[in-house]
C-alpha cells in the first residue's frame, strides 16, 4: 500500500510517493515538463489508478491528458478531451478542475473550465461533453472573470444523489438537483465587497467550497473575504469567520470522514495575499466553524507566499492527511489532521494544485 501525492505546478507535474504511511516521501518528476498543470485528479475507481491532468501546453493550448502508469506515459485523444461545440463560438482556455465522481458512477469525471463551463465525461476523462444546462443559464453573461480568469473551479457531486454544486469566480455558487439539467444560484448571505450591491443574487467571487463529511447539505465556503457555512445546500449562508486571523484566502477542505471538521489557510487580504505576519499556518475547525484552532507545527515563519485554491487537499487515510503547496514551490504534508507538517518538496515552480490518494 502506498500513498500518492500529485503536485501540479506552473511548469509541470511532480508525483510524491510514500510507502510508510506518509512519514517520508519520494519525489518523482518533472512530468509534463514546461506545461502548466492547473488541475489534477487521481481516479482510483478502476483496475489501475488513473492520473488526469488539465494542462496548458505553453503556446499551444489546453487539454486533458491521462496516464494509467503513474506518469510513465501520457495520452490524449486526437480530438481533444474538451472541445466547445461549434455553435457556442467559444474555445477552451484552461482546465481548472478535474473531479472523479463517486464509485457508484464509474467512469464519470467532471471538469470545471474557463470560460465558465462544466463538463461531464463518462469514459474516465478521455472525452467530455458540455453541460448545457449551466452553459445556457441566463446569468452566464453576467459572470465576470476573477483575477485568474473566469472559470468554474469547483465541482462537487453529491455522494449518492443527483445534486451537483459548482463554484465559480466570479458568479458564486450554483446548485443543480437534477444532475446538471437546471441550476439555481445559491449565494444568499455571501458578500461581494467588489460590487455596489452588498448581497447580490449572484456575482460573488467564491474561491472554494467543500462538503461536510456527515451531511451533504452542509457546505463550507472560502469567499473573496468571508468564510461561510450553509446547512441547507446553499439556501442560506452564515459567517463562520470569527476566530480566524483573516477572512480572506483561497482553499477550504473538509474531512472526508469526520463531520464538522474543515481547514482553511488565511491570507491577509486581496491586496496582501500573504499569511498574517508571514506565518504560514492552517486553521482547523472541529465544530463546523464555531471555533478555529491555528495549527501547523513545522510550517515556516517568514513565509511571504500564498496557497492557491486547489493547492490544499485531504487524503482518505486514517488519520486524515492534509497536504498543501505554496506559490514559492514548497509542498508540506501532515499525517495528523494538520497538527504537524513535514516538507515533501521545495524549489518547485508555483504549486497550483495538489491531490492525494491511497493506492490500492
Partner 1 sequence: MTVEVLLPGVLADLAGGSRRLAVDPADPTLAGLLDALAARHPVLERRIRDEAGALRRFVNVYVDGDDVRFAAGLATAVPAGAVVQVLPSVAGG
By CB under 8 A, tell whether 149 contacts partner 1: no
Q: Give the Cα separation of 54 and 35 in Å (integer).
A: 10
The residue range among 59-67, 219-227, 245-253, 306-314 that interacts with partner 1, by the rule CB under 8 A, is: 59-67
Query: Do 237 and 296 form a contact (C-beta atoms < 8 A)?
Result: no
Nearer to partner 1, 135 or 194 (CB): 135
- Nearest-approach distance from CB 60 to partner 1, in angstroms: 4
CB crowding 199-222: b at 16 or more within 10 Å, else e? ebebbbbbbbbbbbbeebebbbbb
By CB under 8 A, tell whether 80 contacts partner 1: yes
By CB under 8 A, tell whether 63 contacts partner 1: yes
- Nearest-approach distance from CB 67 to partner 1, in angstroms: 16
Nearer to partner 1, 93 or 262 (CB): 93
Sign of CA dihedral 123, 129, 132, 137: positive
Q: Give the Cα separation of 53 and 82 in Å (integer).
A: 12
By CB under 8 A, tell whether 151 contacts partner 1: no
Q: Grid coordinates in use for 190?
A: 455571501
By CB under 8 A, tell whether 79 contacts partner 1: yes
- Strand order across the 172-176 sheet: 151-157, 164-169, 172-176, 184-185
Closest CA to 331 of 63, 3, 11, 16: 16
Distance, C-alpha 336 to centroid of its chain:
21
Nearer to partner 1, 118 or 317 (CB): 118
Nearer to partner 1, 49 or 349 (CB): 349
86-115 footprint of partner 1 as x/- string (CB under 8 A): x--xxxx-----------------------
Question: Where on the chain is the footprint of partner 1 (CB under 8 A)?
Answer: 57-61, 63, 76, 78-80, 83-84, 86, 89-92
Amino acid at each position: 500500500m502506498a500513498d500518492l501525492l500529485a503536485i501540479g505546478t506552473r511548469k509541470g507535474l511532480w508525483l510524491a510517493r510514500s510507502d510508510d504511511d506518509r512519514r517520508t516521501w519520494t519525489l518523482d518528476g518533472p512530468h509534463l515538463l514546461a506545461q502548466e498543470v492547473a488541475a489534477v485528479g487521481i481516479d482510483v475507481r478502476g483496475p489501475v489508478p488513473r492520473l488526469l491532468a488539465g494542462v496548458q501546453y505553453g503556446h499551444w493550448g489546453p487539454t486533458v491528458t491521462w496516464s494509467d502508469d503513474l506518469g510513465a506515459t501520457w495520452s490524449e485523444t486526437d480530438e481533444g478531451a474538451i472541445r466547445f461545440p461549434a455553435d457556442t463560438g467559444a474555445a477552451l482556455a484552461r482546465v481548472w478542475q478535474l473531479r472523479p465522481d463517486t464509485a457508484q458512477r464509474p467512469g464519470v469525471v467532471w471538469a470545471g473550465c474557463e470560460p465558465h463551463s462544466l463538463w461531464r465525461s463518462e469514459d474516465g476523462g478521455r472525452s467530455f461533453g458540455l453541460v448545457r444546462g449551466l452553459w445556457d443559464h441566463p446569468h452566464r453573461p453576467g459572470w465576470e472573470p476573477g483575477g485568474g480568469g473566469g472559470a468554474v473551479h469547483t465541482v462537487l457531486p453529491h455522494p449518492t444523489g443527483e445534486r451537483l454544486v459548482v463554484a465559480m469566480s466570479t458568479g458564486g455558487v450554483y446548485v443543480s438537483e437534477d444532475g446538471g439539467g437546471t441550476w439555481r444560484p445559491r449565494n444568499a448571505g455571501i458578500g461581494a465587497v467588489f460590487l455596489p450591491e452588498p448581497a447580490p443574487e449572484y456575482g460573488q467571487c467564491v474561491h472554494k467550497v467543500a462538503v461536510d463529511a456527515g451531511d451533504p447539505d452542509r457546505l463550507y465556503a472560502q469567499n473573496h473575504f468571508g468564510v461561510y457555512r450553509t446547512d441547507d445546500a446553499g439556501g442560506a449562508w452564515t459567517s463562520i469567520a470569527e476566530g480566524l486571523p483573516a477572512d480572506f484566502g483561497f482553499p477550504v477542505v473538509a474531512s472526508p470522514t469526520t463531520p464538522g471538521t474543515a481547514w482553511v489557510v488565511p491570507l491577509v487580504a486581496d491586496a496582501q495575499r500573504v499569511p498574517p505576519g508571514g506565518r504560514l499556518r492552517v486553521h482547523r475547525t472541529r465544530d463546523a466553524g464555531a471555533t478555529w484552532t491555528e495549527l501547523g507545527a513545522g510550517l515556516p515563519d517568514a513565509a511571504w507566499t500564498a496557497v492557491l485554491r486547489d493547492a490544499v487537499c485531504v487524503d482518505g487515510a486514517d488519520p486524515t492527511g492534509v497536504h498543501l503547496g505554496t506559490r514559492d514551490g514548497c509542498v508540506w504534508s501532515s499525517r495528523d489532521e494538520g497538527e504537524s507538517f513535514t516538507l515533501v518538496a521545495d524549489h518547485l515552480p508555483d504549486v497550483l494544485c495538489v491531490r492525494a490518494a491511497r493506492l490500492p
